[in-house]
Structure 1
């Protein structure tokens, strides 16, 4: 049962995307998946040297361009140390606390291509042995990976092919509910990648001619700060990041509308573009919220910091429990898809 039938395929795409391991620095497989999706839609693509993907649809105006971006890289970890107790110490990829992954299943990806499963645990997990099991600090010193293999020392681990620098991905545990929720790790930002793919599919199916040449950048280093700061054509006037809306105390963002960010840790987003997006939402009865994300940066803010002369904005579906076990609702996906659809078909404004 779903009240938003247009998001059925979006949900399916999200499930496929989150099931492909892709911590920042280890994104070739998922970029290949998205590349094939664009190619099936007849859209030209190329990969930049950082491994990101750019798809382009020519518009009526080829002198002024738009760029929309979403990132496919996720949080993850890397082997920091092969320990003498037969376990692994990890180093985090992306900004999240160790408490967010305690007890999580994971995969160790060796440089030879072999995969080993494991679980991220406190060293002092057993309450029958460690008095401080509940109070010990969750940090790099105390957290470790228990490998699903018969190993008891560093030598036996290395014989499996595991070494310092191997990537570690987290089990997404993706699940849809009958009342329209999808919960999973890595909805940040694979939900938005799925939305962009669905947007392009809709434009192609309807035979819509875009008013401006429009680029879709699938970045692969956003979680470490520099995913969308390059390969922006000089003709680009407007640059819109599509990324999760952050929820919590004092926030307006919810799981049912599209979040339009007015400011994050990098500062305010372009006021004129923000007003244009709000106008489109109100004209087309799209549910939205304006919000400020205090501890957040996007591909759009990375592009501004890199010195690009662009009008930048940020919108996205509302995601609960960001950088942990996330959740959103199909209505938020739908509202985000609708806003982007009307945006790419709209005329650029004279912002003065």
Structure 2
């Protein structure tokens, strides 16, 4: 038995997080994934939302599996060009302004031009603003300082920057000798990298999967509807691969695969969960069962859309989700192992 090479997976994750892809502007990263799969001669198609579906034919073509991970990330959009030449933002996805204070960013115009900037409090300088540390981190007080000689709204517009332009955050990705990977957007590009490497392993080893298996690389998960469509009537099991959230009271860690029991949408399918646990135990895979109280996935979106499926959720443990994220190569490896055995296993009864 040969598992996908975890170092190759980490290198792929590093590439993925470095491609800006806030929800609503994901064509570049979808094209990257599409090219990766096309080189493997994997059948792919795009849905109308811009996501990508890869299909591997299995022994049973009447009962399908679908696995999904999302390439869209948190980001922002230009809400207003201020008279000062700075930009007011509107956030894309569920996070707080304090988590992006001081972050480098890119503004992409509708013409495709890229400008750099920094996200700052308006009242940043302690030499000017006596109570700089007391102001609320919110839309009114935070702004983008553009790295161009602009001092008015007209000068900003002369660059081609306009309301509605997308703003992406510098991932600041680092892969450390200790095995830690820290970067923005590990949610959920870590899982995308895992799935792509899994597909590569299935193809190169010429594994005969027991069921036709589709892999949805979704592109609207952060805004709630990435995985709610394009599910074939033959699909029985639908497994979202997304980060495990860490914090007080959570079991998830950075070294094992997290198997979600319940999130804000309710419990995940009990029999599928038990099957995943059984596979982990049989193959000596480190895992944690957990509940994510303020969380939703592509699998829960699929259920809410009325699909008659068995749904589950697993993924690597990610510290400080929707902010300064970190995981460990061990969690990538354990998640990979579980998925490798899952796609070759029997469906739940």
Q: What is the aligned partner in structure 2 of residue 186 from structure 1?
A: 185
SS where residue 107 of structure 2 aligns? strand
Q: Could you tell me how far 1:349 is from its partner in structure 2? A: 2.1
Residue 116, structure 1, aligned to residue 79, structure 2: no
Deviations 1:49-93 (A, max 9, x none): 000000000000000000000000000000000000110000000
Shift of 1:158: 0.5
User: Is 1:161 matched with 2:185?
Assistant: no
Aligned to 2:318: 319
Check 1:274–1:5 CA distance in 2 against 1; reply closer, same or farther (3 A cut): closer
Name the CA distance, whole Å, in 1 between partners of 2:71 and 2:87.
26
Secondary structure, aligned partner of 2:139:
coil
Structure 2 unaligned regions, length at least 5? none
> What is the 5 A alignment of 1:89-100?
89-100=88-99
> CA deviation digits over 1:71-120, x for unaligned, max 9?
00000000000000110000000000000000000000000111000000
CA offsets, 1:299-336, max 9 Å, x none? Answer: 00000000000000000000000000100000100000
Distance 1:324 1:7 in 2: 24
1:136-285 to 2 correspondences below 5 Å: 136-285=135-284
Deviation per CA, 1:122-147, whole angstroms, max 9, x where unpaired? Answer: 00000011112101000000000000
Matched, 1:297 2:296: yes
**What number of residue pairs does the alignment pair up?**
347
1:10-56 residue CA offsets vs partner (Å, 9 max, x unmatched): 11101100010000000000000000111111100000000000000
CA contact (8 A) 2:4 2:336 kept: no
**Residue 272 of structure 1: CA displacement?**
0.3
Report the 3-state secondary structure (helix = DSSP H, G, I; strand = E; otherwise coil) of the residue aligned with 1:107: strand
SS of the residue corresponding to residue 210 of structure 1 reads coil
- What secondary structure does 1:134 align onto? helix
Matches within 5 A, 1:60-79: 60-79=59-78
Distance in structure 1 (CA, Å) of the matches to 2:263 and 2:347: 24
Query: What secondary structure does 2:293 align onto?
Result: coil
Q: What is the rounded CA distance, in whole Å, between the counterparts of 2:147 and 2:265 in structure 1?
A: 42
Give the distance between the partners of 2:105 and 2:49, measured in 1 at CA.
Answer: 25
Structure 1: stretches of 5+ with no match in the other structure: none
**1: distance between equivalents of 2:152 and 2:252?**
48
* Secondary structure at 1:158 match in 2: helix
Runs of 4+ off more than 6 Å: none
Alpha-carbon distance in structure 1 between the residues aligned to 2:157 and 2:206? 55
Report the Cα distance in structure 2 between the residues aligned to 1:314 and 1:22, rounded to whole angstroms. Answer: 23
